Amino acid sequence: MNSLKEKIENKLDSLVETELYEVLDFVECLIKRKVEIQSPTTESPLLAIAGILSIEPLTSEEIEKELYGEGEIN
């Protein structure tokens, strides 16, 4: 019985050169994705800005002041 690699090679023999480039592109994408999953080098966009957002939390009064201005609500 043929191994999986041999089966793939047999299928590749029937493809024209432009199709082989597509297969190569696909295989390279699979390898790149595997590497990224195993060792992620880029952090999440949310984590990248997390330091910017580390300010003191606002009180409810401060939030109301920001929303409605300095005057009191009647």
Q: Is residue 52's pLDDT more than 80?
A: no
Q: Give dist(CA 63, CA 56) in Å, integer.
A: 13
Let me know if residue 29 belongs to a domain: yes
> Domain containing 25: what range?
4-68
Give the residue ranges of DSSP H helices in 1-74.
4-12, 17-38, 45-49, 60-68
Q: Is residue 65's pLDDT more than 90?
A: no
Average pLDDT across the chain, whole number:
81
Let me know if residue 27 belongs to a domain: yes
CB 15 within 8 A of CB 23: yes
Average pLDDT over residues 30-51: 72
Let me know if residue 20 belongs to a domain: yes
Q: DSSP character for 71?
A: S
pLDDT number for residue 69:
84
Q: Give dist(CA 24, CA 26) in Å, integer.
A: 5
How many domains is the chain built from?
A: 1
CB 18 within 8 A of CB 10: no
More confident residue, 6 or 40: 6
